[in-house]
Amino acid sequence: MRNICLSLLLTASLATTSCDKENDLGAVDYPAYNQKYELRVQSGGLAGQTQTYKSGNGNAYLFESSSTYKQYTDGQLSKTGTYKIVSDSSYVLHQPASRIIFDNAGNGVRTLVRFQSNKMYLQEDVYDGKTVEYEKLN
């Protein structure tokens, strides 16, 4: 029960903070190109845990262009591929949202993406899904 309440609280907080101008009409958000976004916080999921990561942890995404990315794990290149960001609507929040699709993987858990200030948020579009916060590096 505690996990359900935590998940609902997290979903409600994201719903109220994600209604900024770039998502009001379903417009698509885009990352800053040639900038790394490093992992800072991972929360939610079935266990309802929150884990914070220090600066310099080496877990990051680099969006090279409007369609290619690199993923780093512990500072080492772990994956390269393509991505696209599309205007969609959230199954959970029932509102317009931007969705990121990595490597044309259209099936499976949908991932919503939001860019706000120097942050990138990836959220699984399922109940009890996790939300991951990344910070843009200078």
What tokens does 80 get?
A: 């390269």
Domains with residue ranges and CATH for the chain: 2-136 (2.40.128)
pLDDT at 129 over 60: yes
What tokens does 110 get?
A: 């949908």
What tokens does 132 get?
A: 């991951």
DSSP 126: S
Q: What is the largest CA-CA distance in the chain?
A: 43
State the pLDDT confidence band at 27, using cuts at 50, 70 and 90: low
Quick: pLDDT tens for 109-121.
899 999 998 999 9
Percent of the chain with pLDDT over 70: 79
Q: What is the pTM of this model?
A: 0.76
Quick: pLDDT tens for 38-68.
999 999 887 789 999 999 999 999 999 889 9
**Best CA proximity match to 120, nearest among 61, 68, 59:** 61
Residue 113 identity (one-letter amino acid): V
Query: CA-to-CA distance for 97 and 19, rounded, in angstroms?
Result: 9
Angle at 104 between CA 70 and CA 13, to 5 degrees: 75
Cβ within 8 Å of residue 96, ≥6 positions away: 23, 24, 25, 26, 87, 88, 89, 90
pLDDT at 10 over 90: no
pLDDT of residue 9: 36
